[in-house]
């Protein structure tokens, strides 16, 4: 089971998790993709992330279209909205600010390797 985020505030990296829902009568109209894109535009975070059920191919496609990367990090959850059926969720992530991308990568790597610049 995945244990959570490491605190990266000491290296100037902020992480925000996003989530959304689209009523069934509005699916397939690009609304989910637009919501994810809007979240990228208004976020002040270094990294945006989302947990997406492997069964929710439409939501995976929304994140994929917006440049998010599907990570090998996954967890199993049982949620009431899915009739308490256990489902595997994958973590999708993206660096939001291009200027921060290289900086965040370097600082995270430095932090993991034992030192902070």
State mean pLDDT over 93-97: 84
110: confidence class by pLDDT, cuts 50, 70, 90:
very low
Residue 103, classified by CB atoms within 10 Å of its CB into exposed (0-12), middle (13-18) or buried (19+), is: middle
pLDDT of res. 35: 94
Query: Residue 100: is it exposed, middle or buried by C-beta count within 10 angstroms (0-12/13-18/19+)?
Result: middle
Locate 13 and state its tokens.
């990296």
85 three-class SS: coil
What whole-number percentage of the chain has pLDDT above 70?
Answer: 70
| φ, ψ at 59 (rounded to 5°) | -70, -40
Question: How would residue 99 be classed by pLDDT, with cut points 50, 70 and 90?
Answer: low
pTM of the shown model: 0.70
**Closest CA relative to residue 18, chosen from 65, 68, 87, 78:** 68
Q: Could you give the domains of the chain?
A: 9-112 (3.40.630.30)
More confidently predicted of 2 and 86: 86
């Amino acid at each position: 089971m995945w244990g959570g985020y490491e605190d990266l505030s000491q290296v100037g990296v902020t992480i925000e998790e996003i989530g959304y829902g689209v009523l069934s009568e509005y699916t397939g109209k690009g609304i989910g993709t637009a919501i994810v894109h809007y979240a990228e535009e208004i976020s002040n975070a270094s990294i945006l992330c989302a947990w997406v059920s492997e069964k929710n191919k439409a939501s995976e496609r929304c994140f994929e279209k917006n440049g998010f990367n599907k990570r090998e990090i996954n967890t199993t959850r049982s949620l009431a909205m899915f009739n308490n059926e256990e489902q595997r969720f994958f973590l999708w992530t993206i660096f939001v600010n291009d200027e921060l991308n290289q900086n965040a990568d370097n600082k995270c790597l430095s932090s993991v390797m034992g030192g902070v610049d």
